Amino acid sequence: MPRELSALQRLAARNLVRRCLNVRRGENVVVETWPHTLSMASAVVDEVRRVGGVPLMFLEDETAYWSAVDRKQTRLLGTMGAPEQAALKEADVYVMFWGPGDSARFNQLDLKTSDEVTAWNDPWYAIVRTTGLRGVRMALGFATESNARAWGTTLDRLTRRILEASSADPRSMARDGARLQRSLRGRPRVQIRHPNGTDLEVALAGVPSKLHTGIPGRHSAVDPYGMLSGNPEGRLPVALDGSTAEGTIVANLPTWTPWWSNSGGRLEFHEGRLTEFSFEEGEGSFRERYAQGTAGKDRAGALAFGLNPLLKDVPSMHVSERGVVSLQVGRNTGFGGTNDSSFMDWVSVAGAEVSVDGTPLLRRGRIL
Protein backbone atom coordinates (compact mmCIF):
# COMPACT_ATOMS: atom_id res chain seq x y z
CA MET A 1 0.00 0.00 0.00
CA PRO A 2 1.30 3.52 -0.77
CA ARG A 3 2.50 5.36 2.32
CA GLU A 4 0.56 8.53 3.10
CA LEU A 5 2.74 11.64 3.00
CA SER A 6 2.94 13.50 6.31
CA ALA A 7 1.98 17.14 6.73
CA LEU A 8 5.64 17.94 7.53
CA GLN A 9 6.86 16.25 4.33
CA ARG A 10 4.37 18.23 2.29
CA LEU A 11 5.34 21.47 4.02
CA ALA A 12 9.05 20.88 3.39
CA ALA A 13 8.39 19.92 -0.25
CA ARG A 14 6.27 23.03 -0.80
CA ASN A 15 8.99 25.26 0.66
CA LEU A 16 11.63 23.58 -1.49
CA VAL A 17 9.72 23.69 -4.77
CA ARG A 18 8.08 27.10 -4.45
CA ARG A 19 10.47 29.22 -2.36
CA CYS A 20 13.92 27.69 -2.77
CA LEU A 21 13.80 26.42 -6.36
CA ASN A 22 10.94 28.59 -7.69
CA VAL A 23 9.84 25.85 -10.08
CA ARG A 24 7.76 27.29 -12.91
CA ARG A 25 5.12 25.79 -15.16
CA GLY A 26 6.62 23.63 -17.87
CA GLU A 27 10.07 23.30 -16.30
CA ASN A 28 11.75 19.89 -16.34
CA VAL A 29 12.72 18.67 -12.86
CA VAL A 30 15.01 15.67 -12.26
CA VAL A 31 14.72 14.02 -8.82
CA GLU A 32 17.34 11.42 -7.79
CA THR A 33 16.56 9.33 -4.72
CA TRP A 34 17.24 6.15 -2.75
CA PRO A 35 14.73 3.83 -1.07
CA HIS A 36 15.22 5.44 2.36
CA THR A 37 14.30 8.89 0.95
CA LEU A 38 11.65 7.74 -1.52
CA SER A 39 8.73 9.06 0.53
CA MET A 40 10.09 12.62 0.61
CA ALA A 41 11.09 12.38 -3.05
CA SER A 42 7.47 11.49 -3.82
CA ALA A 43 6.37 14.61 -1.94
CA VAL A 44 8.72 16.69 -4.11
CA VAL A 45 7.42 15.10 -7.32
CA ASP A 46 3.84 15.76 -6.25
CA GLU A 47 4.59 19.39 -5.43
CA VAL A 48 6.40 19.89 -8.76
CA ARG A 49 3.27 18.74 -10.55
CA ARG A 50 1.10 21.02 -8.43
CA VAL A 51 2.95 24.05 -9.80
CA GLY A 52 2.86 22.73 -13.35
CA GLY A 53 6.41 21.35 -13.56
CA VAL A 54 7.35 18.11 -15.31
CA PRO A 55 9.20 15.71 -12.96
CA LEU A 56 11.38 12.70 -13.76
CA MET A 57 12.47 10.50 -10.85
CA PHE A 58 15.57 8.26 -10.81
CA LEU A 59 15.67 5.57 -8.09
CA GLU A 60 18.96 3.91 -7.12
CA ASP A 61 18.11 0.59 -5.48
CA GLU A 62 20.08 -0.01 -2.29
CA THR A 63 20.36 -3.79 -2.64
CA ALA A 64 21.49 -3.61 -6.26
CA TYR A 65 24.03 -0.91 -5.37
CA TRP A 66 25.75 -2.99 -2.70
CA SER A 67 25.59 -6.11 -4.87
CA ALA A 68 27.63 -4.21 -7.47
CA VAL A 69 30.11 -3.14 -4.79
CA ASP A 70 30.48 -6.77 -3.69
CA ARG A 71 31.16 -7.76 -7.31
CA LYS A 72 33.92 -5.12 -7.55
CA GLN A 73 31.90 -3.14 -10.12
CA THR A 74 32.60 0.17 -8.43
CA ARG A 75 33.81 1.82 -11.65
CA LEU A 76 30.49 0.95 -13.24
CA LEU A 77 28.65 2.59 -10.32
CA GLY A 78 30.69 5.73 -10.93
CA THR A 79 29.75 5.87 -14.61
CA MET A 80 26.94 8.23 -15.63
CA GLY A 81 25.02 6.61 -18.46
CA ALA A 82 23.84 8.31 -21.63
CA PRO A 83 20.14 8.40 -20.58
CA GLU A 84 20.98 10.27 -17.39
CA GLN A 85 23.28 12.64 -19.25
CA ALA A 86 20.49 13.37 -21.72
CA ALA A 87 18.04 14.06 -18.89
CA LEU A 88 20.47 16.45 -17.21
CA LYS A 89 21.03 18.36 -20.43
CA GLU A 90 17.28 18.98 -20.69
CA ALA A 91 16.65 19.63 -17.00
CA ASP A 92 15.90 23.06 -15.58
CA VAL A 93 15.89 21.95 -11.95
CA TYR A 94 17.62 19.13 -10.06
CA VAL A 95 16.88 17.61 -6.64
CA MET A 96 19.28 15.01 -5.25
CA PHE A 97 18.92 12.99 -2.02
CA TRP A 98 22.18 11.80 -0.48
CA GLY A 99 22.67 8.05 -0.27
CA PRO A 100 23.08 5.16 0.09
CA GLY A 101 21.01 4.43 3.17
CA ASP A 102 23.70 2.23 4.73
CA SER A 103 25.80 5.27 5.56
CA ALA A 104 28.01 3.39 8.02
CA ARG A 105 29.11 0.94 5.32
CA PHE A 106 29.64 3.73 2.79
CA ASN A 107 31.81 5.71 5.22
CA GLN A 108 34.01 2.64 5.69
CA LEU A 109 34.85 2.27 1.99
CA ASP A 110 38.54 2.65 1.25
CA LEU A 111 39.66 5.75 -0.64
CA LYS A 112 40.08 3.98 -3.99
CA THR A 113 36.60 2.47 -3.86
CA SER A 114 35.04 5.72 -2.68
CA ASP A 115 36.66 7.62 -5.55
CA GLU A 116 35.43 5.06 -8.07
CA VAL A 117 31.77 5.05 -6.97
CA THR A 118 31.66 8.85 -6.98
CA ALA A 119 33.53 9.35 -10.28
CA TRP A 120 30.28 10.61 -11.84
CA ASN A 121 30.68 13.90 -9.94
CA ASP A 122 33.06 15.74 -12.31
CA PRO A 123 31.15 14.75 -15.49
CA TRP A 124 27.94 15.84 -13.78
CA TYR A 125 29.29 19.34 -13.16
CA ALA A 126 30.75 19.51 -16.68
CA ILE A 127 27.22 19.09 -18.06
CA VAL A 128 25.24 21.38 -15.77
CA ARG A 129 27.71 24.26 -15.99
CA THR A 130 26.60 24.66 -19.60
CA THR A 131 22.84 24.40 -19.06
CA GLY A 132 21.87 26.96 -16.41
CA LEU A 133 20.44 24.24 -14.17
CA ARG A 134 19.64 25.12 -10.53
CA GLY A 135 19.35 22.50 -7.85
CA VAL A 136 19.63 21.26 -4.28
CA ARG A 137 21.22 18.34 -2.47
CA MET A 138 18.94 17.11 0.29
CA ALA A 139 20.52 16.43 3.68
CA LEU A 140 17.51 14.28 4.54
CA GLY A 141 19.57 11.50 2.97
CA PHE A 142 21.77 11.62 6.09
CA ALA A 143 18.79 10.55 8.22
CA THR A 144 19.81 6.90 8.51
CA GLU A 145 19.79 4.34 11.31
CA SER A 146 23.59 4.34 11.61
CA ASN A 147 23.85 8.13 11.76
CA ALA A 148 21.04 8.32 14.32
CA ARG A 149 22.87 5.84 16.55
CA ALA A 150 26.16 7.72 16.16
CA TRP A 151 24.46 10.99 17.13
CA GLY A 152 22.63 9.53 20.13
CA THR A 153 19.12 10.00 18.77
CA THR A 154 16.41 8.04 16.96
CA LEU A 155 15.79 7.90 13.24
CA ASP A 156 12.29 9.34 13.64
CA ARG A 157 13.56 12.29 15.65
CA LEU A 158 16.46 12.94 13.28
CA THR A 159 14.14 12.80 10.26
CA ARG A 160 11.68 15.19 11.88
CA ARG A 161 14.36 17.71 12.80
CA ILE A 162 15.78 17.79 9.28
CA LEU A 163 12.33 18.13 7.73
CA GLU A 164 11.47 20.95 10.11
CA ALA A 165 14.66 22.78 9.18
CA SER A 166 13.90 22.20 5.49
CA SER A 167 10.68 24.18 6.01
CA ALA A 168 12.48 27.40 7.03
CA ASP A 169 11.64 30.38 4.82
CA PRO A 170 14.77 31.30 2.81
CA ARG A 171 13.51 34.87 2.41
CA SER A 172 13.56 35.42 6.18
CA MET A 173 17.09 33.99 6.43
CA ALA A 174 18.17 36.23 3.56
CA ARG A 175 16.95 39.31 5.44
CA ASP A 176 18.85 38.34 8.60
CA GLY A 177 21.92 37.45 6.58
CA ALA A 178 21.88 40.76 4.74
CA ARG A 179 21.92 42.59 8.08
CA LEU A 180 24.98 40.59 9.13
CA GLN A 181 26.68 41.23 5.81
CA ARG A 182 26.29 44.99 6.25
CA SER A 183 27.90 44.79 9.70
CA LEU A 184 30.77 42.63 8.42
CA ARG A 185 31.84 44.72 5.43
CA GLY A 186 35.47 45.66 5.11
CA ARG A 187 38.13 44.28 7.43
CA PRO A 188 36.71 44.71 10.94
CA ARG A 189 37.87 42.83 13.99
CA VAL A 190 35.41 40.36 15.46
CA GLN A 191 35.34 39.45 19.14
CA ILE A 192 33.68 36.19 20.26
CA ARG A 193 33.00 35.58 23.96
CA HIS A 194 31.16 32.91 25.94
CA PRO A 195 31.12 31.96 29.64
CA ASN A 196 32.59 28.56 28.70
CA GLY A 197 36.03 30.17 28.28
CA THR A 198 35.71 31.44 24.73
CA ASP A 199 37.44 34.78 24.23
CA LEU A 200 38.78 35.09 20.70
CA GLU A 201 39.54 38.02 18.42
CA VAL A 202 39.89 37.55 14.66
CA ALA A 203 39.90 39.91 11.66
CA LEU A 204 37.98 39.58 8.41
CA ALA A 205 39.83 39.27 5.12
CA GLY A 206 37.72 41.96 3.47
CA VAL A 207 36.44 39.78 0.61
CA PRO A 208 32.75 39.54 -0.40
CA SER A 209 30.70 36.97 1.50
CA LYS A 210 27.99 34.75 0.07
CA LEU A 211 24.70 34.00 1.82
CA HIS A 212 23.53 30.39 1.88
CA THR A 213 19.76 30.34 2.36
CA GLY A 214 18.71 27.30 0.31
CA ILE A 215 18.16 29.29 -2.90
CA PRO A 216 20.66 28.20 -5.58
CA GLY A 217 22.47 30.84 -7.58
CA ARG A 218 24.66 30.66 -10.66
CA HIS A 219 28.06 29.15 -11.13
CA SER A 220 30.98 31.48 -11.81
CA ALA A 221 34.75 31.48 -11.67
CA VAL A 222 34.47 32.67 -8.06
CA ASP A 223 31.72 30.17 -7.17
CA PRO A 224 31.98 27.15 -9.53
CA TYR A 225 29.36 25.22 -7.55
CA GLY A 226 26.90 28.09 -7.16
CA MET A 227 24.14 26.35 -9.12
CA LEU A 228 23.63 23.93 -6.21
CA SER A 229 22.46 24.61 -2.68
CA GLY A 230 22.20 22.39 0.34
CA ASN A 231 18.85 21.76 2.00
CA PRO A 232 18.28 22.61 4.78
CA GLU A 233 20.53 25.67 4.71
CA GLY A 234 21.05 28.94 6.54
CA ARG A 235 24.54 30.33 7.08
CA LEU A 236 26.82 33.22 6.27
CA PRO A 237 30.50 32.21 5.99
CA VAL A 238 33.14 34.96 5.86
CA ALA A 239 36.84 34.52 5.13
CA LEU A 240 39.33 35.64 7.79
CA ASP A 241 42.67 37.38 7.65
CA GLY A 242 44.90 34.47 8.61
CA SER A 243 47.54 36.69 10.18
CA THR A 244 45.20 37.84 12.96
CA ALA A 245 43.85 35.57 15.68
CA GLU A 246 44.32 35.93 19.42
CA GLY A 247 42.70 34.03 22.25
CA THR A 248 40.68 30.87 22.82
CA ILE A 249 37.53 29.31 21.41
CA VAL A 250 35.80 26.44 23.22
CA ALA A 251 33.19 24.38 21.38
CA ASN A 252 29.89 23.55 23.08
CA LEU A 253 28.53 21.75 20.01
CA PRO A 254 30.02 18.73 18.22
CA THR A 255 31.50 18.68 14.71
CA TRP A 256 30.54 15.82 12.42
CA THR A 257 31.40 14.79 8.86
CA PRO A 258 31.18 11.36 7.19
CA TRP A 259 34.97 11.09 7.62
CA TRP A 260 35.68 12.51 11.08
CA SER A 261 34.00 13.96 14.13
CA ASN A 262 34.98 15.68 17.35
CA SER A 263 33.47 17.35 20.39
CA GLY A 264 34.62 19.46 23.31
CA GLY A 265 37.22 21.22 21.20
CA ARG A 266 39.44 23.92 22.68
CA LEU A 267 41.63 25.90 20.28
CA GLU A 268 44.16 28.53 21.39
CA PHE A 269 45.67 31.13 19.04
CA HIS A 270 48.60 33.47 19.55
CA GLU A 271 49.86 36.04 17.03
CA GLY A 272 47.68 34.55 14.33
CA ARG A 273 48.69 30.91 14.78
CA LEU A 274 46.99 27.90 16.36
CA THR A 275 49.34 27.08 19.22
CA GLU A 276 47.42 24.51 21.27
CA PHE A 277 44.38 22.30 20.86
CA SER A 278 42.52 19.61 22.78
CA PHE A 279 39.27 17.69 22.36
CA GLU A 280 37.11 15.60 24.65
CA GLU A 281 36.44 13.25 21.72
CA GLY A 282 38.08 12.94 18.31
CA GLU A 283 41.44 14.47 19.21
CA GLY A 284 43.37 11.61 17.61
CA SER A 285 41.78 12.16 14.22
CA PHE A 286 42.29 15.92 14.40
CA ARG A 287 45.92 15.52 15.44
CA GLU A 288 46.66 13.02 12.65
CA ARG A 289 45.08 15.13 9.91
CA TYR A 290 46.68 18.28 11.28
CA ALA A 291 50.14 16.67 11.25
CA GLN A 292 49.68 15.83 7.57
CA GLY A 293 48.30 19.26 6.64
CA THR A 294 50.14 21.68 4.39
CA ALA A 295 51.06 25.32 5.02
CA GLY A 296 48.21 27.42 6.41
CA LYS A 297 46.83 24.64 8.59
CA ASP A 298 47.49 26.68 11.75
CA ARG A 299 45.60 29.78 10.59
CA ALA A 300 42.05 30.89 11.32
CA GLY A 301 40.31 30.43 7.98
CA ALA A 302 36.69 31.55 8.26
CA LEU A 303 33.76 32.36 10.51
CA ALA A 304 30.24 31.11 9.80
CA PHE A 305 27.07 32.56 11.31
CA GLY A 306 24.03 30.25 11.50
CA LEU A 307 20.69 31.60 10.24
CA ASN A 308 18.16 28.74 10.19
CA PRO A 309 15.58 29.33 12.98
CA LEU A 310 14.06 25.83 12.66
CA LEU A 311 17.30 23.84 12.79
CA LYS A 312 18.03 22.28 16.16
CA ASP A 313 20.55 19.71 17.36
CA VAL A 314 21.53 17.96 14.12
CA PRO A 315 25.29 17.33 14.60
CA SER A 316 26.19 17.58 10.90
CA MET A 317 24.40 20.93 10.53
CA HIS A 318 25.21 23.01 13.60
CA VAL A 319 26.92 25.65 11.46
CA SER A 320 23.49 26.55 10.02
CA GLU A 321 21.65 26.68 13.35
CA ARG A 322 20.45 30.21 14.06
CA GLY A 323 22.79 32.09 16.39
CA VAL A 324 25.60 29.54 16.25
CA VAL A 325 29.09 30.86 15.43
CA SER A 326 31.62 28.47 13.91
CA LEU A 327 35.35 28.95 13.41
CA GLN A 328 37.02 27.12 10.54
CA VAL A 329 40.74 26.45 10.76
CA GLY A 330 42.90 26.03 7.68
CA ARG A 331 41.62 26.18 4.10
CA ASN A 332 39.28 29.05 3.21
CA THR A 333 39.50 29.23 -0.59
CA GLY A 334 35.84 28.15 -0.80
CA PHE A 335 34.88 31.45 0.86
CA GLY A 336 37.05 33.76 -1.25
CA GLY A 337 40.17 33.50 0.90
CA THR A 338 43.70 32.63 -0.20
CA ASN A 339 44.51 29.83 2.28
CA ASP A 340 44.68 26.62 0.21
CA SER A 341 45.96 24.32 2.95
CA SER A 342 45.05 20.66 2.64
CA PHE A 343 43.77 20.81 6.23
CA MET A 344 40.35 22.04 7.32
CA ASP A 345 38.24 21.56 10.45
CA TRP A 346 35.93 23.69 12.55
CA VAL A 347 34.40 24.14 15.99
CA SER A 348 31.01 25.66 16.85
CA VAL A 349 29.71 27.73 19.75
CA ALA A 350 26.04 28.33 20.58
CA GLY A 351 24.93 31.27 22.70
CA ALA A 352 28.00 33.41 22.16
CA GLU A 353 28.36 37.18 22.42
CA VAL A 354 29.80 38.59 19.19
CA SER A 355 30.88 42.18 18.54
CA VAL A 356 32.31 43.85 15.43
CA ASP A 357 34.83 46.61 16.13
CA GLY A 358 33.21 46.92 19.55
CA THR A 359 29.61 47.05 18.30
CA PRO A 360 27.43 44.12 19.49
CA LEU A 361 26.27 41.81 16.69
CA LEU A 362 25.00 38.73 18.56
CA ARG A 363 23.94 38.50 22.18
CA ARG A 364 23.51 35.02 23.68
CA GLY A 365 23.15 33.74 20.13
CA ARG A 366 20.45 36.23 19.15
CA ILE A 367 21.09 38.34 16.06
CA LEU A 368 20.74 42.02 17.03
Mean pLDDT of 291-313: 96
* Exposure on the CB side of residue 18, measured as CA atoms within 13 A: 15
Position 1 scores a pLDDT of 39
For the chain, percent of residues with pLDDT exceeding 90: 85
Position 151 scores a pLDDT of 86
* Exposure on the CB side of residue 170, measured as CA atoms within 13 A: 23
Residue 223 has pLDDT above 80, yes or no: no
DSSP 66: H
Ordered by start, the domain boundaries in the chain are 7-167, 171-367
pLDDT digit string (tens) for 19-70? 999 999 999 999 999 999 999 999 999 999 999 999 999 999 999 999 999 9
Q: Which long-range contacts (CB under 8 A, 24 or more apart) does 179-184 make?
A: 179/367, 180/236, 180/305, 180/361, 180/367, 181/209, 181/211, 181/236, 183/356, 183/359, 183/361, 184/209, 184/236, 184/238, 184/356
pLDDT bucket at 313, cuts 50 / 70 / 90: confident
The CATH code of domain 7-167 reads 3.40.1830.10
Strand partners, 99: none
Residue of 286, 293, 236, 234 lying closest to 256 (CA atoms)? 286
Position 2 scores a pLDDT of 53
Q: What is the pTM of this model?
A: 0.92
* Pairing of β 255-256 and β 235-250: unpaired
pLDDT bucket at 221, cuts 50 / 70 / 90: low
Q: Are 352 and 346 in contact (CB under 8 A)?
A: no
CA distance linking residue 336 with residue 239, whole number of Å: 6
Mean pLDDT of 79-96: 96
